[in-house]
Amino acid sequence: MRDVTAMTYRLSPSLLSADFAHLADEMARVGAADWIHVDVMDGHFVPNLTVGPPVVRRLARAAPKPLDVHLMVERPSRLLDDFLSADPGVLTLHVESDAPDVLKASLREIRARGARSGITLRPGTDVEALAPYLPLCDLVLVMSVEPGFGGQSFLPGAPDRIRAVRRMLDRCRPSCELEVDGGLTLDNLPLAAEAGANVFVVGHAIFGAPDVPARTELFLRRLAALAGETS
C-alpha cells in the first residue's frame, strides 16, 4: 500500500506560457514554486520549436529553483550530455523518442550525473510501455494533453491513466514521483491529485493570470490543502 503521507506535492510552472523575452523575470515571478518546467521541442517529435541546450544552461544559472526539463525531441541521446551539463533537477524523456536500449542507457546516465531521471509518454501510448523503464526512473510524467502546445484542455482520459501508472508504481517503485502535464487548472487539480499524481505542471493557468505570483501562491495553497486531506 502506498504511504500517501510520504508523497510531497510539488508545483512546476511551465515556461512555455511565459514571456520568452523576459525568462529570468518570469522565473522569479514563480520562484515560490518547487520546480520550473522547461519544454524542449525540436519541430520533429512535436510540431513546435522552443529552446535548446544553450538556453537551458543559461536558464538553469538564473533559476531560483531546480529545472524540470521535458525533452520532446527525436533521439534525445544525441543531446543528453548537453542538457545534463545544465545540471537540471529532472530530465524527462519520451518512451517513443529513442530505441529501448538507448533510452535505458540515457536514464542510467541521467541518474549517474545527479539528476532525477524521468520517463513520459504521449496520451495515445499504452501505459504498459513504461514498464521496462520504471526501475531506472525517479519520475513518471503522464501527459494530459497531446504534447506540443500550451493552453490546451485537460484530456478526460488522463485521470484513468494516472491511476493505472500509480498502480504500476505502487507495485515496483512506490517512491517514484508521478507528474501530470497539460491543461491543469485550479478546478481540475484535485482530480489529478486524487488519481495519484504528486507533481503538477501548470503553464497557461499560471502565466496567463493577471497576477502571476499571486496565482502561483494560490496553486501552492490548493496543493497544501490537498496534501492535508490525503494525510
**52/105 with CB nearer ligand DX5:** 52
Looking at 42, 68, 98, 181, which residue is catalytic? Answer: 181
Q: Does 145 bind ligand DX5 (CB under 6 A)?
A: yes
The dihedral sign for the CA sequence 191, 167, 116, 45: negative
Query: Please, what is the minimum distance in Å from the beta carbon of residue 96 to ligand DX5?
Result: 13
- Binding footprint of Zn ion on the chain (CB under 5 A): 39, 70, 181
**70/222 with CB nearer Zn ion:** 70
Could you give the CA distance from residue 185 to residue 116 in angstroms, rounded to a whole number? 26
Q: Does 198 bind ligand DX5 (CB under 6 A)?
A: no
Binding residue (CB under 6 A) for ligand DX5 from 76, 159, 196, 203: 203
Q: Does 148 bind ligand DX5 (CB under 6 A)?
A: yes
Q: Which residues pair with 117 in a beta bridge?
A: 91
Q: Does 117 bind ligand DX5 (CB under 6 A)?
A: no
Query: Of all residues in this chain, which one has the CB nearest to ligand DX5 in the complex?
Result: 203
Report the side by side order of strands in the sheet with 67-72. 10-13, 199-202, 177-181, 139-143, 116-121, 90-94, 67-72, 36-41
Q: Which ranges in the chain belong to alpha helices (H)?
A: 23-29, 53-62, 80-84, 100-112, 158-172, 189-195, 204-207, 212-230
Binding residue (CB under 6 A) for ligand DX5 from 11, 16, 69, 212: 16
**Strand 139-143 versus strand 199-202 pairing type:** unpaired
Query: Please, what is the minimum distance in Å from the beta carbon of residue 82 to ligand DX5?
Result: 20
Footprint of ligand DX5 on 60-79 (CB under 6 A) = 70
Torsion of CA 4, 230, 130, 60, to 10 degrees: -90
Could you give the CA distance from residue 182 to residue 71 in angstroms, rounded to a whole number? 15
* 208: Cα within 13 Å, side-chain hemisphere: 12
Instruction: Pick the piece of the chain touching ligand DX5 (CB under 6 A) from 125-133, 146-154, 161-169, 223-231.
Output: 146-154
Q: Is 181 a catalytic residue?
A: yes
Q: Is 39 a catalytic residue?
A: yes
Q: Does 17 bind ligand DX5 (CB under 6 A)?
A: yes
Q: How far is CA 198 from CA 7, 141, 170, in A?
A: 7, 10, 13
Query: Please, what is the minimum distance in Å from the beta carbon of residue 171 to ligand DX5?
Result: 27
Report the interface residues with ligand DX5, using CB under 6 A. 14, 16-17, 37, 39, 70, 145, 147-148, 150-152, 181-184, 201-205
Catalytically annotated residues: 39, 181
